[in-house]
Amino acid sequence: MQNKRSFFERLTGAVRLDEEREQPEEESHIGTNAKQNIFEESEEEAQLTVDVYQTPSEIIIKTMVAGVKPEDLDVSITRDSVTIRGKRSEDRTISNDEYFHHELYWGSFARAITLPEEIDVDGAEAVEKHGMLVLHLPKLDKNRQAKLRVKGS
């Protein structure tokens, strides 16, 4: 069984010394089928870094998505979890031989976050500004009560 490479290993191109990894030419990711769904899980999917905090009324998630087009982002929420997926596409007008440093991460990324409290899915809001994606997730008020009127027939 082949171990999944860490984000750092994918980011830097580092190779683990404790295992010998040979990659056949067919596994090269350059020139893959462009019609592949960008939100499908892939072996080389990086984990997105996030900040998650709460206020008395909401849970807030912040993450950097600089260089990602809005149509290449997928944010799925349920009452108790959030999944953010996307793809950062590289402009391949420069050959690898012309680089002095090549450190930016290009490719698919995702992050699934289990929330500490249930949220109101319908009231959730996502805002992107200057490469920062901010999700505002209002907490459900479990103590809220509503009175129902009983109708006579």
What is the phi/psi pair of residue 137, to 5°? Answer: -120, 100
For residues 114 and 81, is the Cβ–Cβ distance under 8 A? yes
What is the overall mean pLDDT for the chain? Answer: 77
Where does the pLDDT of residue 6 fall: very low under 50, low under 70, confident under 90, or very high at 90 and above?
A: low
**pLDDT confidence of 7, banded at 50, 70, 90?**
low
Name the residue with higher pLDDT: 109 or 2: 109
Dig out the tokens for 140 from the structure. Answer: 């459900």
Kindly report, residue by residue over 25-61, the tens digit of the pLDDT. 444 333 334 334 444 444 578 888 999 999 999 999 9
Q: Which domains does the chain carry?
A: 7-138 (2.60.40.790)
3-state secondary structure of 18: coil
For the record, the structure tokens of 69 come out as 């087009």
Sheet arrangement for strand 132-138: 51-54, 58-64, 132-138, 125-129
What does the pLDDT read at residue 51? 96
High-pLDDT (> 70) share of the chain, %: 70
- How do residues 96-134 score in pLDDT, each as one tens digit? 788 888 777 788 999 999 999 999 999 999 999 999 999
